[in-house]
Structure 1
Amino acid sequence: MQFLTDRKRAVGNGAGSEGTHHHWKMIVSSICLVVLAPFFIFTFGSGLGGSYEEVLAFFSRPFVALVMGLGLVVGLNHFKMEIDEAVEDYIHGIAQKLTLIAVSAATYTLMAVGLFALLKLAL
C-alpha cells in the first residue's frame, strides 16, 4: 500500500505542468493563425477561377507559395494539438494511444501531401 497524500499525487499534474505548456503553444499558434488566415483566404481566393496556366503562374509566385505553405502547416498543427487535447480528455487506455497515433499520422500525411502539391505547383 502506498502512503501518498493528495498533494503528493497532484505534484507534476494539473495547472502548473503540461497544461500550461499546451496552453501557450495554442496561444502562439492562434496568434499566428489570426494573421495567416486572412492572407490564406484572400490569396487562395485570388487564385480561383483562372485557367490552368493562370493558376500555375499564380501559385509559382514566392509570396503566394509561402503564405499557402505556412497556412497549411500552422493550421494543421493547430488542428492536431486541439484534437490531441480532446482525445486525452475523453479517450483512455490503449484506444487513446492508438487514436493519438492515427491523428498524428493523418495530420502529418496531410501536411506532406499539401506541401508536395504546393511544391509541384510552385516549381
Structure 2
Amino acid sequence: MSIRTPLARVRGLGTAKDGTHHWWLQRVTSVALVPLVLWFVISMLSVSRADYETFQHWLSNPVRAGLMVTLLLAAFYHANLGMQVIYEDYVRPEGAKVVAVLATQFVLFLLGAISVVAVLKIALA
C-alpha cells in the first residue's frame, strides 16, 4: 500500500526527456527544407533543358553543390525522424519496432550517402 497520490505516481512515470529533442529536430529540419526545396525546384526548372555538361558546370559552383548536399542530408534525416515516430506509435510488438527503426535508419543512411557521393562526383568532375 502506497501513501502516494495517483498524481504523484503518474509523475514518476513521465517521459524519458527525449521526446522534446526529437520534436524540435523534426521542426528544425522541416523549416530548413522549405527554402531548400523551393531553391531546388526553381533551380531544376532553370536547368531542365540543359545537357549534362551544362548541368555539371552549374553544379560545380560550391554554393550550389553545398545547398544540394544540405538538401539531401536534411531530407533524409527528416525522413528518418518521421518514420521513427510512425514506428514508435503504430508498430507492435517491441521487437518488430526495433527492427523497423534500424532497417529504416540503415536504408536512409545508405541512400543519403549514395546521393551525396553522386552530387560530389558530378560537382567535382
What is the TM-score of this pair, normalised by structure 1?
Answer: 0.85
Give the 3-state SS of the residue equivalent to 1:48 in structure 2.
coil
* Corresponding residue number in structure 2 for 1:43: 43
What is the match of residue 87 of structure 1? 87
Count the aligned residue pairs.
121
In 2, are the aligned partners of 1:33 and 1:74 still within 8 Å (CA)?
A: yes
Larger Rg: 2
Give secondary structure in 1 for the equivalent of 2:69: helix
1:38-74 CA-partner distances (Å, limit 9, x unpaired)? 1122123323221121111111111211111111110
Structure 2 unmatched runs, 5+: none
- Rounded to whole Å, the distance in 2 between the matches of 1:100 and 1:10 is 28
- The 2-side partners of 1:115 and 1:25 are apart by 21
The 5 Å alignment of 1:59-98 reads 59-92=59-92, 93-98=94-99
Distance in 2 between residues matched to 1:12 and 1:21, nearest whole Å: 19
Alignment RMSD: 2.3
The answer to whether the 8 Å contact 1:72/1:111 transfers is yes
Report the 3-state secondary structure (helix = DSSP H, G, I; strand = E; otherwise coil) of the residue aligned with 2:44.
Answer: helix
Q: How does 1:15-54 map to 2 (within 5 A)?
A: 17-54=17-54
Letter in 2 for 1:78: H
1:118 deviates by 0.3
Q: Structure 1: state its 5+ residue gaps.
A: none
Matched, 1:118 2:119: yes
Provide closer, same or farther for how the CA distance between residues 59 and 12 of structure 1 changes in structure 2, counting only shifts above 3 A: farther
